[in-house]
Amino acid sequence: MKPYILPLSALILLGLESLRAEPDQTWLDSYQIVWDSQSADARGSMPIGAGNIGLNVWVEKDELLIYFGSPDSWSYRGAGFNTQMQTKLGRLRLKFSPGVWAKEFRQELELATNSIVLSGKTTDGHAIKLRVWIDAMQPVVHLEGQSESPIEAAVAVEYPTGLAMAPHNTGQVYGPLVREGRIDGDAIEWWERSPAIDEGRAEYIRRFKVEELAKLLPNPMSNRTMGGRLSGVGFVADGTGQGTYDGREFRSVKLRSAKPLNHIDLHASLRIAQDATLEEWQGQLKRLETAKRATAREDWRASVAWWQGFWDRSRIVINPGKGPDDPAWQTGRNYQLFRALLASNRNGEFPTLFNGGHFTCEPNPDSRNWFDCQFMAQNQRLVYWPMLKSGDFDLLKVGLEYYRRSTELQTAWAKHFWQVDGLAFNEGMGIYGADWAPNPEGHGGPGHLTYHKVSGMEFALMMLESASYGGTDARPYLPIALGYLQYHDQFYRAQTKKLTGKEFDEHGQLVIFPGNAIEMYQQTRNDACTISGLMALSKSLLDLPANMLTTEQRAFCEAFRKKLPPLPTRERRGHQTLAPAESWKSASTWDNIELPELYPVFPFHIYGVGKPNLQLARDTWEFSFEQPRQKRNFCWYQSLIYTANLGLPKEASEFAIAKFLWPNREKGAQSGMRYPVFYDTFGFCQRPDFDHGGCAMVGLQDMLMQTVDDKILLFPAWPKDWDCEFKLHAPNHTTVEGVLKGGRLEKLTVMPQARAKDIVNMLTQ
């Protein structure tokens, strides 16, 4: 079928200018990111995403380049048990002749549609305008536009060759990259395909002696094939090539325009699947391309509608109208920009990685710090916590399902290693749904992770809270939440009996020993993180509707809560404070220096604004630290979240600006990242640092709104001189929308309306 090419005027109406529809989202207009100069390299890229696809888009030396990324593009790197890593699907390169940016250049992120518009003028003054967008429903990337004068175009997809290197500066070589490409008529295809037998999985089973559990270990790398197919109206095949970019060798498959074009219409269909044969994968890809090329206009409208719905879910707009010279305004803008990055994984198989997500853009874009940690839960949790109040339950589900899928495996793991009926996720989770490097007893391998299982408890709590916030069905998640309580009940009663001959202490309470207080303290007794987590999780279970738990399950939860020891306290600097634990045998002195004694504030909300004994928690923040750098505010450091939950608006607002504008607010901090929320935490986690951005979102949300039982507290840590337009989600399927101006709440809409009685305006208290 001959494609229908719309005239320029229609393209402008439909695609090359902003679509506006109800509800009113004009607040997004001021957040457009506009660059009037080209970028030096990929670190100057601009991101967009949808579905499970993320793009880095930039123009370098008059060439348009695009990295294709996905949370699901996991690459096979040989027989090592922990060598799988997330990599790019490929790099697109588009060049025009004559050059289209000789006299003018503009690259603009249109946030309302999450697409990028590029415009320019040739040497003779003729204008060109292009749009890059992603189908929100299917993994298809479009590049389309108009040129006032006919131009020639050459496009290639490039993929690296040679040996795969370990991306964590170890110097280890993993084996040859198995990426290939071909010409198929007037289209090009490229792919990477893993072997049918994953020797890495086999090595994992052998090394950690889990043969009995082998049938429960997923097999995500077998025949995993990822790549795409690119074609364009008026384009023909142009052979293959090779070259070097940023010091890395690559091969390419190419297209060129058969004659000079006024209309640019390129279409890349992407596929990540475990098809039995390469031919099956290619056939499915070709069918996707054929189907979606015929529906491009309808797909654009559907994608715009999806983004309109996304932006209508929630927002935090600070000091509207003040503009980018105001740091508080920038804070609100960066909140929106980072939330858009999270929207690039709505239907992925795997969670968004904390260390760069799928937007890595180093000279080797397949590199990332801590790649071998894979889904490190203490970092991953911060990517997912903000999705409750933002109402992004579809995005949250991707992170929760990663854990739910391994429920049976984790239950069998607990029985196999610990002889308990229950489960508890180790801190370091891998692609096979289990600890990436357990010790012989099935706990975490490194000493600072051995009994660190509290981050998985946070995901269990998110599972239950997502049911209250967004109507998620909690029942599939109950085995995880209940399993956590059962593990701690049975495992620690057995441990205590081995040591003392009795299952409980002299007060009839559990003894959580041996434990970890996050990563900082090892061999702890009754650490604050675990105890507060068990308090919060058991309460959340009991708060479920009565029919969700059996009589026996409810009785168990109630009895378990009564056996929990009290949170530990100590005297510090002349003040009574919460303690990391009752005791510990060793503590880290390196950079893993968290504040575990404040986990009862966040994430577990035992203490905070509107709760008893707030001063104890505030004194803990003020006086309990061992080193001042425990209060740092980049990467996973939670200083913003703590001060927000403690109701300290001055400190929280200062931390918020520093966090959202990082590293620009730090003297001497230099970063090659151009995009405002490509956070660089200088080696802590890979840039763009996603746990930094997620932590910032949580803190800003908590400054604006917190919940205590049925009460909704507005502005608990909000500075009176910050105006705000907002919409956030709360428990019991509630949304709260309002306008704060000059310290007065001028407008408030609560849905359902019956929840309006639960609002408490903290600015008037």
CATH code at position 40: 2.70.98.50
> d(Cα 292, Cα 504) in Å, to the nearest integer?
63
Structural domain containing residue 417: 374-574+582-594
Residue 137, Cβ density class (10 Å: 0-12 exposed, 13-18 middle, ≥19 buried): middle
Strands 515-517, 315-318: pairing is unpaired
- What is the reported pTM? 0.95
The alpha carbon dihedral of 494, 495, 500, 503 has a sign of negative
> d(Cα 685, Cα 376) in Å, to the nearest integer?
11
Q: For the beta carbon of residue 17, count every other beta carbon within 10 angstroms.
A: 13
User: Which of 361, 306, 315 has the alpha carbon at shortest distance from 338?
Assistant: 315
User: Which of 545, 562, 594 marks a domain boundary?
Assistant: 594
Beta bridge partners of 60: 63
| Residues 395 and 526 placed together within one structural domain of the fold | yes
Residue 657, CB-side half-sphere exposure with 13 Å CA sphere: 17
DSSP 477-534: GHHHHHHHHHHHHHHHHHHHHHHHSSSS-TTS-----SEEETTTEEEEBS-HHHHHHH
User: Which of 563, 594, 625 marks a domain boundary?
Assistant: 594
In this structure, are residues 724 and 704 in contact, taking their beta carbons and an 8 Å threshold? yes
| Residues 382 and 303 placed together within one structural domain of the fold | no
Amino acid at 688: P
| Residues 397 and 296 placed together within one structural domain of the fold | no
Mean pLDDT by 10 residues, the chain (765 residues): 33 40 82 97 97 98 98 84 87 96 95 97 92 98 96 96 54 62 97 93 94 97 97 97 93 98 97 98 97 95 98 98 95 98 98 97 92 92 98 98 98 98 97 95 95 98 97 95 98 98 98 97 97 98 96 98 98 97 89 89 98 98 94 95 98 97 73 93 93 98 97 98 98 98 97 98 93
| Residues 48 and 146 placed together within one structural domain of the fold | yes
CATH code at position 450: 1.50.10.10
Structural domain count of the chain: 2
Tell me, what DSSP letter sits at residue 14?
I
Q: What's the pLDDT score for residue 91?
A: 98
| Residues 121 and 268 placed together within one structural domain of the fold | yes
- Is 692 a member of any domain? no
Task: Specify the 3-state DSSP secondary structure of 160.
Answer: strand
- Is 731 a member of any domain? no
| Residues 384 and 297 placed together within one structural domain of the fold | no
User: Which of 719, 705, 156 has the alpha carbon at shortest distance from 389?
Assistant: 705
- Is 352 a member of any domain? no
- Is 339 a member of any domain? no
CA dist list (Å): 47 to 19, 39, 61, 155, 675: 20, 13, 19, 20, 8
The alpha carbon dihedral of 319, 321, 322, 327 has a sign of positive
